[in-house]
């Protein structure tokens, strides 16, 4: 039985650097408890690139979790 990637994986993909300049953004990302909350937050507040990266990370997460099943 393999390990499953959780929402923390997606949150880590959306953290902005440098950390000290993006405290509010990163806090909001880490406060999302569900994938849909993260999608909505990125859609409303993120860039087009961040939207694309999130969708890619979701697809990647689903493939990894499927392979570990």
Instruction: Give the pLDDT of residue 30.
Output: 97
Please, are residues 7 and 32 in contact by the beta-carbon 8 Å criterion?
yes
* 11-49 residue pLDDT tens: 999 999 999 999 999 999 999 999 999 999 999 999 999
| Global pTM value | 0.85
User: How buried is residue 13: exposed, middle or buried, by Cβ count under 10 Å (0-12/13-18/19+)?
Assistant: middle
């Amino acid at each position: 039985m393999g390990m499953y990637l959780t929402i923390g994986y997606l949150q880590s993909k959306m953290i902005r650097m440098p950390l000290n300049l993006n405290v509010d953004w990163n806090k909001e990302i880490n406060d999302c408890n569900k994938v849909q909350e993260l999608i909505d937050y990125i859609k409303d507040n993120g860039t087009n690139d961040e939207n694309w990266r999130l969708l890619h990370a979701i697809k990647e997460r689903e493939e990894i979790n499927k392979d570990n099943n």
